[in-house]
Amino acid sequence: MSASRLKALTAGVVTLLLSACALRGWIGGGEAIRVTEAGRAQLCSAEDDTSRVHIFDSPAAVIDWQERTGIRLAEFKDLERGRYALIEMGQRHTGGYGLAVSREARIVGNTLRLVATFFSPKAGSMRTQMITSPCVLVHLTEGDYVGVEVYDQNGELRAASQGAR
């Protein structure tokens, strides 16, 4: 990838991340908390095009999932104690797709609401012909919540999960 293309891509990512952060109004109410990214991959375990979120109760549960799937998102020594959420975009048949999770989240009732930006290639653009399934692993701040919901940059619910794996 050329330096100018990388620079343009980086600027686009920053813009979209900021727009996701600006959406906090519609995710509304509740207690504001921070989440931090712990890992990411362009090829996760998705077998269809459905977006999903999975909750892990501990770093050991994350490591167990990584060993079962062969996908390395994080090293055990780098994982903080606490819960994690794996947000999967779903399987795509070309490159150019991506996912970024906002650091700002909200606890509303007993649900943690995350905001993610779902990237898609521009129509008619050149892209690699390979299956991708982007995913992001985030460390969840402790709080009084059970379920996790993931909303996209347009405010649409993309995935929801209750409980832990």
- With beta carbons less than 8 A apart as the criterion, state whether 90 and 52 touch: yes
Given a cut of 60, whether residue 13 has pLDDT beyond it is no
- With beta carbons less than 8 A apart as the criterion, state whether 147 and 110 touch: yes
Q: Whose CA is closest to 82, among 110, 62, 52, 111? A: 62
63-76 confidence digits (pLDDT tens): 999 999 999 988 87
Q: Are strands 135-139 and 147-151 parallel, antiparallel or unpaired?
A: unpaired
Residue 20 pLDDT class (50, 70, 90 cuts): very low
pLDDT for res 24? 44
Share of the chain above pLDDT 90, in %: 51
pLDDT for res 17? 46
Round to whole Å and give the CA distance between 15 and 46: 27
Share of the chain above pLDDT 70, in %: 77
Give the side-chain half-sphere CA count within 13 A for 92. Answer: 22
Task: Tell me the pLDDT of the chain averaged across its residues.
Answer: 81
pLDDT for res 128? 65
Q: What is the pTM of this model?
A: 0.79
With b meaning 16 or more CB within 10 Å and e meaning fewer, what string describes 115-135? Answer: bbbbbeeeeeeeeeeeebbbb
Q: Where are the domains of the chain?
A: 3-162
Given a cut of 60, whether residue 59 has pLDDT beyond it is yes
Which one of 8-17, 19-28, 52-61, 120-129 scores highest in mean pLDDT?
52-61
